Amino acid sequence: MLKQEQTRLLKGLLNHLDAKTNVDAGGIIKAPAETYTSKERFDLEWDSFFQDYPQIIGMSGDLAEPNSFITIEDFGPPIIATRDADGKFKAFANVCSHRGAQIETEKKGLKSKFSCPFHGWTFDNQGSLVGYPKSDHFGKIDKDCYGLTELPCLEKYGFLWVHPKADGKIDLKNLLGDKLEKEFAAWDFDKLVLSNEEEYKTDMNWKLAIDTFGETYHFSVLHKDSLFQSFHGNCQMFDSFERNGRLILCKRDIDEMRKLPEEDWNITTGTLPVYYLFPNIIFMPTPEGAFLVKEYPLENSPHKSISKISFYFYPEAIEMADKMGVSPETGQNPLEELYSAFGSVIRDEDYVVAASSHKGLKSGNIDFLTFGRNEPALHHYHNTYREALGLQKLPIIES
């Protein structure tokens, strides 16, 4: 993040702390229960946001080496993403041009060629059909017409985007906007190394998982024995960038940081930035690396979802943790302790109450969820979500 912006945000938080104030969305909004429970709404979201919208599938560190690959089916069609021998990122439908089987079934690995498990047709990691067995028996085909279907993809600022449709477009200017592009260019997310991945399946609408990252109003209650120990609750900054948002959560470390000269202030020392990347990504840079949360609906249902959380660290942090070794109490090194603690807060605290909210919504005994004036990220997310679906903005209720 640019230094000037870091200072502005840190000073904003310090002002809130001193004045005992918080960001103010100007009022309260109410999101109707159908946002989370309607199958009709869900179908609209699935088509608009998961079938026809550029998807962040991971970070550059997910394809760390030449000839690495990953396969995904998170938003429907089977996809294979590759990095070729020259380091170029590509994405294809993981669909054999012979009879449609998935050419690769492993989740990730290192391969320059993929041999389909059905009849052994072989493709390289640039999508070309390079051979098929018993060609004299099978008959002559034009191999150039039998490559894998290539999907639009883009690697920039350390993120990997894929469009699920072969004729889709990834327009970064439109997706991020100039301001966020400049901000991302000032981080080093392309250096992040993938260190751990977790998945949590929960009985809740996928957006309830997104909502839980959107405010710190709940810290002193739900997280009183965990996050609240290291964060000032109910104190944040918020900015929006096109459809995206950025919350700045206030760590208690800011209390020591403020005693230093301003040039020594750092945004990840005093805060936890939380980027909302529309429609389904939460991304949090830390001093050691970053956490990427991808939310997906499951089983074509508004009532089930999966969170896929990837933990990345910078090489220097990994080296340092290796030197420090494992703690006798936890049996983990400092980075392992960090992602275990984060994972358990999300899984055992946030998602437990989010599933509880979902049960409440599904019961039909609550008609809407209410977002307070101290929850501007949720105002922005829900109104952006509605705008993207052609629905009316939720009006501010005077308070």
Q: Which residues bind ligand FES (CB under 6 A)?
A: 96, 98-99, 101, 116, 118-121
350 binds Fe ion (CB under 5 A): yes
Rounded to an integer, what distance in angstroms lies between the CA atom of residue 123 and that of residue 120? 10
Task: Name the binder of 304 from ligand FES, Fe ion, none, CB < 5-8 A by kind.
Answer: none
Smallest gap, in angstroms, from Cβ of residue 117 to ligand FES? 7
Contacts of 394 (CB under 8 A, 6+ apart): 29, 30, 31, 379, 382, 383, 386
Smallest gap, in angstroms, from Cβ of residue 115 to ligand FES? 8
Smallest gap, in angstroms, from Cβ of residue 111 to ligand FES? 16
Torsion angle (degrees, nearest 10) of CA 203, 289, 71, 155? 120
Question: Would the CA dihedral through 16, 20, 24, 29 be positive or negative?
Answer: positive
Query: What letter represents residue 144's amino acid?
Result: D
Smallest gap, in angstroms, from Cβ of residue 122 to ligand FES? 9
Smallest gap, in angstroms, from Cβ of residue 103 to ligand FES? 6
Taking the least distance from each CB to ligand FES, the nearer of 98 and 347 is: 98
Do residues 275 and 240 touch, judged by C-beta distance below 8 A?
Answer: no
What is the enclosing helix (H) or strand (E) of 34?
helix 34-37
Taking the least distance from each CB to Fe ion, the nearer of 110 and 352 is: 352
Taking the least distance from each CB to ligand FES, the nearer of 150 and 322 is: 150
Taking the least distance from each CB to ligand FES, the nearer of 144 and 398 is: 144
Task: Name the binder of 118 from ligand FES, Fe ion, none, CB < 5-8 A by kind.
Answer: ligand FES
The residue at minimum Cβ distance from Fe ion is 350
Task: Determine the interface stretch with Fe ion among 91-99, 104-112, 243-251, 342-350 (rule: CB under 5 A).
Answer: 342-350
As a 3-state breakdown, the chain gives helix, strand, coil percent values, each rounded to 5, of 35, 30, 35
Task: Name the binder of 121 from ligand FES, Fe ion, none, CB < 5-8 A by kind.
Answer: ligand FES
Taking the least distance from each CB to Fe ion, the nearer of 9 and 293 is: 293
**CB-based contacts of 228-235 (< 8 A; 24+ apart in sequence):** 231/272, 232/17, 234/22, 234/374, 235/13, 235/16, 235/17, 235/22
Rounded (5°) CA angle 268-270-273? 45
Task: Name the binder of 96 from Fe ion, ligand FES, none, CB < 5-8 A by kind.
Answer: ligand FES
Contacts of 224 (CB under 8 A, 6+ apart): none
Smallest gap, in angstroms, from Cβ of residue 220 to Fe ion? 11
375 binds Fe ion (CB under 5 A): no
Taking the least distance from each CB to ligand FES, the nearer of 11 and 119 is: 119
Taking the least distance from each CB to Fe ion, the nearer of 119 and 347 is: 347
Task: Name the binder of 394 from ligand FES, Fe ion, none, CB < 5-8 A by kind.
Answer: none
Rounded to an integer, what distance in angstroms lies between the CA atom of residue 35 and that of residue 56? 23
Query: What letter represents residue 206's amino acid?
Result: W
Smallest gap, in angstroms, from Cβ of residue 194 to Fe ion? 24
Describe the strand order of the beta sheet including 89-93 as a list of residue ranges.
108-110, 68-72, 79-83, 89-93, 150-151
Smallest gap, in angstroms, from Cβ of residue 90 to ligand FES? 19
Task: Name the binder of 350 from ligand FES, Fe ion, none, CB < 5-8 A by kind.
Answer: Fe ion
Chain CA centroid to CA 240, Å: 16
Taking the least distance from each CB to ligand FES, the nearer of 11 and 98 is: 98
Q: How many residues does this entry show for the chain? A: 399
Burial class (CB in 10 A: 0-12, 13-18, 19+), 325: exposed
Binding site for Fe ion (CB under 5 A): 350
